[in-house]
Amino acid sequence: MAAPAYAIDGNQLLEQVDRNLNPESYESYKKLINIEPDGSKKEFVLFTVKKGKDKVAAMFISPASEKGRSTLRLDENMWLYIPNVGKPIRITSLQSVVGGVFNNSDLLRLDYTSEYDVEKVEDKGSEHLLHLKAKTKSVAYDKLKMWVNKDNLLPSKIESLTEASMLIKTLYFKEIKDFGGGIVRPSVIETDSPLYKGYKSVMIFAKVKEQTFNDEVFTLTFMPKMESLR
């Protein structure tokens, strides 16, 4: 019997979402704002480079106290380099080098398809609802629920959940912007969490551009030299 016409390959759809969010290899500038319950804010500016499915590196441009710090992610392994400390130190996906609601896996985001399989796709009218399951135990969130706009195949909201389906945080994708070079994607990602009541973090993308890099850029020895890429 022929498969129904409306059957959707969830993993193919997720791959399309990945590519719509950013090229496989790219550079970007983003501002990160952590907002506390009393309204006070802390801001960071990061320069990020990514290659393929499993290599991401980021460097702090501001504030001055963080300048020169860099982070590196190779698949599930992550490091933080701090000038004056010497060698890079290991960090985990659930920690946060910036504090706030975004953790290291949010900051050093790999393709969703590299970490998750789509278990189910639901039709929600103008959106697809994708139910994602982590491929391994080392992924920061065991499950994701991703609402994807059918017109542009971009996410509008992602809920991050534990294995027991407890909500850890929600990401809201806003303000779609044309970054040039065929990249049209949300320029703002906001997040809040029931675990951090009254706290909010915002990621604002100023530039996203397709770019190729040598593998050497994604090594521990290159971490102090990231400034040379800008």
pLDDT tens digits for range 97-126: 898 899 998 989 889 999 999 999 999 999
- 89 has a pLDDT exceeding 60: yes
Domain assignment of residue 3, yes or no: no
Give the single-character DSSP code of 215.
G
Query: What is residue 20's three-state secondary structure?
Result: helix
How much of the chain is in helix, strand and coil states, percent to nearest 5?
A: 15, 45, 40
Domain assignment of residue 1, yes or no: no
Domain assignment of residue 105, yes or no: yes
H or E segment to which residue 85 belongs: none
- 221 has a pLDDT exceeding 50: yes
pLDDT in the model for residue 2: 46
Domain assignment of residue 5, yes or no: no
pLDDT in the model for residue 20: 94
Range of the domain at 167: 10-224
Query: What is residue 6's three-state secondary structure?
Result: coil
Tens digit of pLDDT for each residue in 36-52? 999 999 999 999 999 99
Domain assignment of residue 229, yes or no: no
- 224 has a pLDDT exceeding 70: yes
Domain assignment of residue 113, yes or no: yes
Tens digit of pLDDT for each residue in 119-142? 999 999 999 999 999 999 888 899
Which amino acid, 114? S
Task: Kindly report the number of other CB atoms within 10 A of residue 165's CB atom.
Answer: 10
What CATH number does residue 24 fall under?
Answer: 2.50.20.10
* Total tally of structural domains belonging to the chain: 1
Tens digit of pLDDT for each residue in 139-198? 889 999 999 999 999 999 999 999 999 999 999 999 999 999 999 999 999 999 999 999
Domain assignment of residue 49, yes or no: yes
Domain assignment of residue 230, yes or no: no
Residue 3, CA distances (Å) to 9, 13, 42 in order: 12, 17, 52
